Structure 1
Amino acid sequence: MATFLYRLGRLSFRRRRIVVMLWVAVLAAIGIGAMSAPGTSSGALSVPGTQSQKAIDLLQKEFPQASADGATARVVFEAPSGQKLTSDVNKTEVESLVAKLERSPQVSGVSDPFTSGLVSKSGTIAYAQVSYKVAEADVSGAAHAVQTDVVAQGEKAGLKVSLGGNAVKDKAASKVAELIGVGVSAVVLVITFGSMIAAGLPLLTAILGVAAAILSVTLATHFFDLASASTTLALMLGLAVAIDYALFIVSRYRNEIRDGHEPEEACGRALGTAGSAVVFAGLTVIVALSGLSVIGIGMLTSMGLASAFAVAVAVVIALTLLPAVLGFAGMRIMKGKMLTRRMKALERGEGESMGVRWAKFVTRNPVKVLAVSVAGLALVAIPTMSLKMALNDDSGKPPGSTQRIAYDTLSKGFGPGFNGPLTVVVDARDSDSPKAAAQDAYTMLSKLDDVAAVRPPSFNEAGDVALIGAVPKSAATSEATKDLVGEIRGHGTALHQDTGADLMVTGLTAVNIDVSTKLSDALIPYLAIVVGLALVLLLLVFRSIVIPLKAALGFLLSVVSTLGVLVAVFQWGWLKDLFGVDQTGPIVSLLPIVLIGVVFGLAMDYEVFLVSRMREEYVHGAEPTQAVVEGFRHSGRVVTAAAVIMVSVFSGFLLDDEALIKSIGLGLATAVFFDAFVVRMTIVPAVMALLGHRSWTLPKWLDRVLPNVDVEGEKLRHALEAEQTDSAPEPVLAGVAAGFHAGSDGHGAPHAFTGLHTSGDDPDTPAPAQQAPGKARGLSRFKQRLARGGDATAPADSAESKAPARRKLPKNPLRRR
C-alpha cells in the first residue's frame, strides 16, 4: 500500500497538469449530466413490513382517491377577537378560501370545515384538510403559491390563517452555518500552517471534492430514487473529511520538505505514509455510513450511501488532485509569513509544543488522567438512561413560523391530538359481514379513554374495506398516543377472532411511531455491525488487538456522553435558554443512529491519524511512551486543528431556529469535542502509557494470517534504502568529481533520497548537488540554491532543516526526532 501510494504521489506531482485537466474534464462531464437529472425526491419515511405501511399500500389500492401516500396540509382559520367563524361574513370568506384550495394544482380533495364538523366548540377556530395527489417533495411551486395566496387573502379579510402539514414549504434554510464553517476552517488552517498557500490547498481541494460528490449524487437520480436529505448529509460530511484528509497530507508533506527532500520526493513520501492512514480512515467512515443500509429504511439507506460516496471521492481527491496541486505550489508552500515567534521557534526545533507537553503530562500521570476522564464522561452520560425518542412534527418548528402557529392554534381549539389524527383501516375482505366488522371497530374506538373523536366508517366501492378516523386526546409525539396506537392494535387481534377482519392503524402519527420503533430496535445491531467491521480494519492497520478495542470502547463512551447532553438540554430543559430551545420533548428518532454513523467515522479518522504516527515511531525503534509523545509532536496539532474545524462547523447549526437542526448541531459538535479531546487525546495516550509494549502485541498465529498493509511505511523505507544503496556511486578521491562532498574517509557521500551529506568534519556545511546523469532525486533544489550561495530568501519554517541537531538524522529517512 505505502509503496503504491508513494509512486502515485510522485506520478501525480510530476504529471500535475494532466491530473488537473482530467479532474476538470470529470467535473465538467458530471456537471453536464447532473443538469438534466430529475433531482432528489421525497424524504418521506417508509418502512416496508410495518403495519402502517401495509395499511397505506391497501389504501392506495382500495381508495385511490384518498392519495394515502400523498402530501397533506391543514389550513387553520381563526376568527378575529370577539367574533366567530360561524358568522355570515366570516363563513362566506372561509368557504371562498376552501373553494380556492379545491382549484389548486395537484389537490385530490379538501374537507370543508362546516360540513365535516371541523369547527371548534367555541366557533372561533376551524381547519380544512387538504390532500395532494403527489408526495411531499413533488408538490409544485404553483400549489405552494396557492397556499400563500390563501393566507394573504384570509388575513386581508381579518382572519388569522396559518398552514401546517408536510405539504407546506419550509422557510429557506440559512447559510450562516456553512459560512461560519468555511470561515473558521480558513482561520484554523492559517494558524496551523502560518501560510496562506498551505491553508488554501485543503480548502480548495475540499471544495472541488464536494462539488464532484454532490454533482455525482444528483446525476445518480437518473437511475435511483434518493431522499432529499442525501445531498445535505453528503455535503456536510464530504466537506468535513476532505479538509481533514488534505490537512493531514499537507502537514506531512511540509515535514518531509523540512527533512531535506525535494518536493517531488516529499510528496511521494507524504502519500506513502500519511496517505495510507487517509485510505484506512476513509474506509472506516465508508463502512460506518454504508451500514445505515442495514436498518431497512429507504431514506437512511440513500443518506448513508450518498455520504459514503462523498467520503470516497474525498479520499481519491486527496490521493490524486492534492499531490498535483502541491506540484504547482512548489516550495512556496513553505513560506510561513504569518508565523508567530513561538511557531518559528518550534519550526527551528526550539522548545516544545503544547501537544507535546500535554502528552508528557498524560504519560507521567496515566492512572489519574484516565480515572478523571472516564469518570467525567460517565457522569455526563447519566441522563442517557432517560432517553425517549420520537419523530419530529410541527411542534418543533421555529416559534412564529406558519407551521408552529397552525399547530398551537389547533391545540388551543381542538386539543393537541388533532395535530396527529389516526387512520384506522378495517380489511374485511375475508369477513362474512364487512359492515358489522367495521361497526364493531367504530364502537371499540369510541370507548377508548384517550380518543377525543371518531369519524364513522367509509367504505370502498366493493364495500369490504372501511376507513375510520380517530383523534387522540394527547399530542402526536407523546407517550400516551404511542400507548393508544398499541392499544388499538391489540384490540385488532380480538376483532379478527370475532369477525375475520384485520384492523390496521396508519397515518403520519402511526408511521412515525413505527419508524421510531424500527430505529430503536436497529440501534444495537447497527452498532455491532459497524464497530465489528471497523475493528477488522483497525486490526489490519495497527496489527494490534488492544488498539482497535480501545478505539471502539472510547467511541461508545463519547456517544453515550453526547446522548446524555442531548437529553439534558432538549428533553429535561437544562440550559435551554442558552441554546435557544423554547420547549422540551423527546429526542428525534433519526438523530442517535445518524449521530453514531457520522461520529464513528470522524472518531476513527482522529484515531488513525494520531495512532498511525505513534506506530510509525514504535516500528522504527522508539519506546512505547516516547512513541506516544512523538505521535503528538507530529500529529497532535493536525488532529486538534481538524477537531476545532468540525466543532465550529457543527456549532454553527445552533444558530438555526428549528429545534431539530439545533439538536443535530449540538449533538455532532459535542460528540466531536468529547471524542477528539477527551478520548483520543487524553484517554488513548493514558491507556497506551499504562500498557506499554502490550499495546502493540499481536498473537503470532494472527500475525501470520493478517496481510501486512504497511500503513507506517516500513516496507517503503526499506525499498528506498535498498535503492539508495544500489545507486551509490563508485568511490572517487575528494574533489575529483564534481557533485560529491568528500567525507572523512575520502569518499563522496551520495545524496539520493535523503538529501543529507555524511561529512564528519563540518556537518553544517551544505553539500553541492550531485551532477550525475539523470534526474536528481535526493537533494532538494532549495538546499542546492543555498549551497551555491544563491537564493537567500529561505522560508521561515525551513530553518529547522539547517540546525546542526537536525543534520544528524537517523538512518531511517522517514523518521524525525
Structure 2
Amino acid sequence: MAELLFRIGRFAARRHWTVIGAWLALLALSAVTYVSFAGALSSNISLPDTPTTRVSQQLERDFEGTGGGNGSIVAETSDGSAFTTAQKSELVALFDRVAEVESVSDVSDPFTTQDQLDASADQVADGREKLNDGLAQLASAQAQIDAGRAAVAEQRAAAREDGTLPAIRAQLDDAVQKLDDGQAQLDQQQAKVDEQAPQLEQGAILTGLSSGFRTVSDDGSAAVANVTFDVSTNEVTTEVKTEIEDLVADAGIDGVDLYPSQDIAQTVPSILGPGEVAGVVIAAIVLFLMLGTVRGAALPLVTALLGVGVASLASLSFSGVVEFVSVTPVLGVMLGLAVGIDYSLFIINRHRRQLKQGAELHESIGLANGTSGNAVVFAGVTVIVALLALNVTGVGFLGLMGTVGAVAVLVAILMAVTLTPAVLALMGPRILRRRERTALAGGTTYDDDAIATASSDEPMSTTRAWTVLGLGVAALLVVAAPATQMRLGLPDGSTQPPDSAGFKAYDVQAEKFGEGSNGPLLVVADLPGPVAEGDVVAEQAVVAEQLGRVWNVDAVVPIGASEDRSALAFQVVPDGSPSSEATAELVQNLRTLTPTTASGGEATLGVAGNASAGIDISDKLSGVLPVYLVLVVGLSMLILILVFRSILVPLTATLGFVLSLLAAFGGITAIFQMGFLADLFGVHAPGPVLSFLPIIATGILFGLAMDYQLFLVSGMREAHAHGAPARVAVQHGLRAGRAVVTAAAIIMISVFAGFIFSHDATIKPIGFGLAFGVLLDAFVVRMLIIPAAMHLLGERAWWLPTWLDRILPDVDVEGAKLERRHPVHAGVGVGALTDERTERSQPT
C-alpha cells in the first residue's frame, strides 16, 4: 500500500493540473446529478414494525379517516381577549383554504367542535337533571299508590269489623283496580327510565372523561385546528407543508397570531450557518499557526470543502429515490470537513518536514503520500468500518446516515492522497515559511525528527505514569456519572428555536390547553370479539373509564369503532409533555393494561403517538447498540492488531475509548437533559437525549479515536522497531506526533463545535457530543492515559503470539520500508524547486 500511494503521490504531483481538473469535473458532475435527481428531505424519524407503527397501520386499515398523519394550526389573539365573531369567520375561511391543499383530507373547525363538546356536556347535564326529576316524580307517585293501598286496606278491615263490608266491597275493589292501573303505568315509566338511565350514565361517563379535551381555550383567546392528512406524516411532502405555512403566513387576520405546529413547520437544518463558519475560521487559524503560511493553511480547507461538495452532492443525488432524514447530509458535512482537513494536514506536515531536510519536491510529495498517506488510509478505513457497520443495526435511517458519512470519509481519503499532492506540487516550496525557504536555499536543513528524538530519550517516571493513569481514569468516570441518568427520546416542539413557529405553537398549547395537548396518544382497544352496533357506546364507556383511571391521564376522548366493531379507538391526553418521564411511564402502563369489557372479557391495548414513537425508537436503538459495539470494536481490533502487531495496544486503545465515550455521554446528559450550563449552549428546554445520538456518537468517535491512536502510537512502534527501549519509544512517538495530533484534534473539535449553535435541536447535541468526545479522547486518553499505560506495560505492550506473528501480513503502516527504499536526500535547491520548466521536464 505504501509503495502504491508513493506512486500515486508522484503521479499527482507531476500531473497536478490533470488531477485538479478531474476533481473539479467530478464536482460539476455531482452538481448536475444533484440538480437532476435530488428529492426533498424528511424531518420525521420513524421505524417500521414497531408497536407504534403497527397501531398506526391498524388505524389506517380498520378505522375510516384515522390512519393519516396529523398536524395543527394554533391561533391566539394578540391581546389575550376572546375571539370576535369576525375573527372566527376569517379563521374558519383560512381552515377551509388549508383543507383544499393536496394531501390534506380535513381541517377541523375548532369553534364548531368546541360548541359540540359544550352542547354534548349540556345535553348530558340536562338529561341527568330530567332523569333525577323523573325519578323524583316516580318516587312520589309510588308513595301515593302505596298510601292508597294502605288506606283501602284500612277501610276493608274496618268494614269487616262493623259488618258493612258486603255493602262497600264493590267500591273497594274498584279503588284497588285503579291503584293497580296506576301501578302498571308507573312500572312502564320506571322501565323506560331504567332503559334510558344506563345510556345517560354512559354518556355522562364519556363526557366527564373528555372534559379535559378542548379545541378552544377556557378564556376563548386560543384555538387549535387539527389538520388531517390522507397519508402518514412521513409521506407529507415539503411542498405541501410549505403551502400550508404560506397560507397561514399570508392570512393577515387582524389581532390574531397563527402558528403551524412542528409537524407542519419543521425546517431542514442549514448545512453551513454562522456557527459552522466560525468553526472553520478557528480551524484556519490553527492551520496557520501550525503551518506558518496562508497558502499552507488554505490548502487543507480547500481540499476539505471540495471533498464535502463532491460527497454531499453525490449522496443527495439519491434523495429522490431513498428517503433522507434531514440530519443525514449535515452529518456528512461534519465528518467530511473534520477528517478532510485533518487527513490533508497529516500529509502536508510530513511533506514540510521532508522539504526542510532537503528532499526534492516530487520525491518528498510521493514519500509523504506513502508514509503519512498510508496512515491516513488505515485511519480512514477504521472510521469507514465504524460507519458502515450502522447498516447491520437494521435501522434504515441510521444505516443511511452511516453510509453517507462513510462516503464523506472515503472522498476525504481520496482527496488527501490525490488532490493534496497535486496542489502541493503546484505550490512548490511556498508551503514553507519565507525564512525556511531562505535557509534551505542557503544550504541549511532541519531534521525535526532528530530534534524530537534527542529531546525524548528520558522516559517518564513510573510514579508519574501511575498518577496520570489514575487521575485520568478517575476524571473521566466523574464526568461520565450523569450518563447513568440518561433518557432517550425524540425532539418535540419545545426544543425548537424560541422564535420558530413550531415552538410558539407548542408554547401556546401548553399554556392554554395543558402540556399533554402537544402529544396526545392514540389508544386502540382490541375487544374479545365484535359487538353489536347498539352496544358500542356501552363498551366505549366501560373501557374509557378504566383508561381514565390510569395515572397521568388528563382526558379520554372516544374516536370510533372499527368497521367490524371488534376494536375501539380513543385519544388519550396525558397530563405531562410528550417528552416527560411521566408520559413515557403512561405509555408503558397503557400497553400493559388489560381493561375488562362490558361483556366480561378482556381487551388488549395498543398505543401510538409521538411519545410512544419515541419510546419505540429508543428501545430499538438500545437493543441494537450492544451488537453494534461488538461488531465495530471487533473489526477495528483486528485492524489495529494488523497495524500495530500487538494484542495489548489495541486493547488499551479500546478501553480508553470506552472511558472517553462514557464521559462524552455524561456531558451530553448533564447539558441537554439536566440543563447544566444550558444557557451557555443555547439549550432553552432540557429534555431526553436524542434517541439515535448514542449509537451515532459511538461509531464516529470510535473511528476518530482510532485515528489519533494510529498517528501517535505508530510513531512509538516505529521508534521501538528502530531499537529504542519500549518506554523510551513511548516518549519518542509522543513528542514526534503530539504537535500535529494536537492541531488536528483542535481543528476537528472546532468544526464539530460549530454545529453546537445550530438552530436545529437534532444537530446541536450531535455537534456537542462529537466535539466533547474528541476533546476528551485526544487530550485525556490519547495524550495522557495511553502513554502512561504504554509506559507501565513496557516491552509487554508489543507482545504478540508467535503463531499470530507468522500469519499476519506486514502492512507497514508507518511506511518504514518505503523510507528505506526512498531515503530523504538533499534536492537541488529552492531555485530548482520553483522552476516549472524543470518540473515539466522530469520523466513520469
Name the TM tier (shorter chain).
0.7 to 0.9
Post-superposition Cα deviations, 1:575-620, rounded to whole Å, max 9, x if no partner, equal 2333333333222222222222222222111111111122222222
What is the correspondence of 1:502-581 to structure 2 with a 5 Å cutoff?
A: 503-581=605-683
**1:218 CA drift (Å):** 1.8
Q: 112-121 or 687-696, which moves further after superposition?
A: 112-121
Cα distance in structure 1, aligned partners of 2:463 and 2:5: 37
**1:42 CA drift (Å):** 2.1
Among candidates 101, 112, 120, match of residue 98 of structure 2: 101
Cα distance in structure 1, aligned partners of 2:108 and 2:786: 62
Specify the code of the residue in structure 2 equivalent to 1:92: S
* Kept after mapping to 2: 8 A contact 1:59/1:66: yes
Specify the code of the residue in structure 2 equivalent to 1:636: R
Post-superposition Cα deviations, 1:208-267, rounded to whole Å, max 9, x if no partner, equal 211111121022335433333221111110111111111111111222223333122222
Cα distance in structure 1, aligned partners of 2:313 and 2:462: 47
2:813 aligned residue:
711
* Kept after mapping to 2: 8 A contact 1:177/1:650: no
What is the correspondence of 1:713-792 to structure 2 with a 5 Å cutoff?
A: 713-717=815-819, 720=821, 753-754=822-823, 756=825, 779-782=826-829
What is the correspondence of 1:339-378 to structure 2 with a 5 Å cutoff?
A: 365-378=464-477
| Count of residue correspondences | 727
Specify the code of the residue in structure 1 equivalent to 2:731: V
2:506 aligned residue:
407
| Residue 391 (str. 1) matches residue 484 (str. 2) | no
Among candidates 133, 147, 156, match of residue 245 of structure 2: 147
| Residue 157 (str. 1) matches residue 155 (str. 2) | no
Cα distance in structure 2, aligned partners of 1:354 and 1:659: 48
**1:347 CA drift (Å):** 5.1
Cα separation, partners in 2 of 1:425 and 1:784, compared to 1, 3 Å? same
**1:699 CA drift (Å):** 0.8
Post-superposition Cα deviations, 1:320-358, rounded to whole Å, max 9, x if no partner, equal 2222222222233234469999xx999576997899789
| Residue 649 (str. 1) matches residue 751 (str. 2) | yes
1:588 aligned residue:
690
Cα separation, partners in 2 of 1:234 and 1:64, compared to 1, 3 Å? farther
CA RMSD of aligned residues (A): 3.3
Specify the code of the residue in structure 2 equivalent to 1:551: A
Cα separation, partners in 2 of 1:501 and 1:339, compared to 1, 3 Å? farther
Post-superposition Cα deviations, 1:36-65, rounded to whole Å, max 9, x if no partner, equal 113254242222221111122233334574
Cα distance in structure 2, aligned partners of 1:201 and 1:677: 25
1:27 aligned residue:
27
Cα distance in structure 2, aligned partners of 1:339 and 1:121: 79
Cα distance in structure 2, aligned partners of 1:358 and 1:64: 80
Q: 27-36 or 307-316, which moves further after superposition?
A: 27-36
Structure 2: state its 5+ residue gaps: 115-214, 836-844
Post-superposition Cα deviations, 1:704-760, rounded to whole Å, max 9, x if no partner, equal 222221212244345x1xxxxxxxxxxxxxxxxxxxxxxxxxxxxxxxx4465xxxx
| Residue 226 (str. 1) matches residue 273 (str. 2) | no
**1:673 CA drift (Å):** 0.8
Cα separation, partners in 2 of 1:47 and 1:216, compared to 1, 3 Å? same
Q: Find the residue that maps to 1:528 and give its secondary structure.
A: helix
Cα distance in structure 2, aligned partners of 1:390 and 1:497: 38
What is the correspondence of 1:96-495 to structure 2 with a 5 Å cutoff?
A: 96-117=93-114, 118-133=215-230, 135=233, 138-141=236-239, 143-151=241-249, 153=251, 156-170=253-267, 173=270, 175-221=273-319, 223-336=321-434, 365-427=464-526, 431=530, 435=536, 440-492=542-594
Structure 1: state its 5+ residue gaps: 721-752, 757-778, 792-817
**1:29 CA drift (Å):** 2.7
Cα distance in structure 2, aligned partners of 1:596 and 1:608: 18
Length-normalised TM-score, structure 2: 0.79
Cα distance in structure 2, aligned partners of 1:280 and 1:350: 22
Q: Find the residue that maps to 1:577 and give its secondary structure.
A: coil
1:632 aligned residue:
734
2:791 aligned residue:
689
Cα distance in structure 2, aligned partners of 1:354 and 1:404: 58
1:83 aligned residue:
81
Q: 172-181 or 345-354, which moves further after superposition?
A: 345-354
Cα separation, partners in 2 of 1:26 and 1:143, compared to 1, 3 Å? closer
Query: Which structure features the higher share of helix residues?
Result: 2
**1:413 CA drift (Å):** 1.7
Cα separation, partners in 2 of 1:144 and 1:362, compared to 1, 3 Å? farther
Cα distance in structure 2, aligned partners of 1:338 and 1:185: 23
**1:125 CA drift (Å):** 2.4
Cα distance in structure 1, aligned partners of 2:445 and 2:243: 61
* Kept after mapping to 1: 8 A contact 2:453/2:732: no
Q: Find the residue that maps to 1:579 and give its secondary structure.
A: coil
Q: Find the residue that maps to 1:131 and give its secondary structure.
A: strand
Cα separation, partners in 2 of 1:592 and 1:376, compared to 1, 3 Å? same
Post-superposition Cα deviations, 1:292-319, rounded to whole Å, max 9, x if no partner, equal 2233322211111110111111112212
What is the correspondence of 1:12-51 to structure 2 with a 5 Å cutoff?
A: 12-51=12-51
Q: Find the residue that maps to 1:512 and give its secondary structure.
A: helix
Cα distance in structure 2, aligned partners of 1:129 and 1:362: 70
Cα distance in structure 1, aligned partners of 2:670 and 2:807: 47
Cα distance in structure 2, aligned partners of 1:328 and 1:467: 70
Cα distance in structure 1, aligned partners of 2:49 and 2:768: 33
* Kept after mapping to 2: 8 A contact 1:616/1:713: no
Cα distance in structure 2, aligned partners of 1:496 and 1:21: 77
Cα separation, partners in 2 of 1:223 and 1:652, compared to 1, 3 Å? closer
Cα separation, partners in 2 of 1:655 and 1:338, compared to 1, 3 Å? farther
**1:783 CA drift (Å):** 7.2
Specify the code of the residue in structure 1 equivalent to 2:814: E
1:728 aligned residue:
none
Cα separation, partners in 2 of 1:626 and 1:357, compared to 1, 3 Å? closer
Q: Find the residue that maps to 1:471 and give its secondary structure.
A: strand
Specify the code of the residue in structure 1 equivalent to 2:806: R
Cα distance in structure 2, aligned partners of 1:408 and 1:162: 10
* Kept after mapping to 2: 8 A contact 1:451/1:472: yes
Rg larger in 1 or in 2?
A: 2
**1:32 CA drift (Å):** 2.0
Identity %: 40
Cα distance in structure 1, aligned partners of 2:95 and 2:454: 66
Cα distance in structure 1, aligned partners of 2:355 and 2:677: 49
Cα distance in structure 1, aligned partners of 2:300 and 2:742: 15
Q: Which has the higher contact order (CA 8 A, sep 6+)?
A: 2
**1:422 CA drift (Å):** 0.7
Q: Find the residue that maps to 1:22 and give its secondary structure.
A: helix
* Kept after mapping to 1: 8 A contact 2:248/2:260: no
* Kept after mapping to 1: 8 A contact 2:55/2:606: yes
Length-normalised TM-score, structure 1: 0.82
Cα separation, partners in 2 of 1:285 and 1:184, compared to 1, 3 Å? same
**1:678 CA drift (Å):** 0.6
* Kept after mapping to 1: 8 A contact 2:726/2:795: yes
* Kept after mapping to 1: 8 A contact 2:269/2:326: no
* Kept after mapping to 2: 8 A contact 1:616/1:712: yes
* Kept after mapping to 1: 8 A contact 2:103/2:236: no
Cα separation, partners in 2 of 1:191 and 1:440, compared to 1, 3 Å? same
Q: 74-83 or 242-251, which moves further after superposition?
A: 74-83
Q: 47-56 or 331-340, which moves further after superposition?
A: 331-340
**1:430 CA drift (Å):** 6.3
Cα distance in structure 2, aligned partners of 1:709 and 1:350: 22
* Kept after mapping to 1: 8 A contact 2:465/2:789: yes
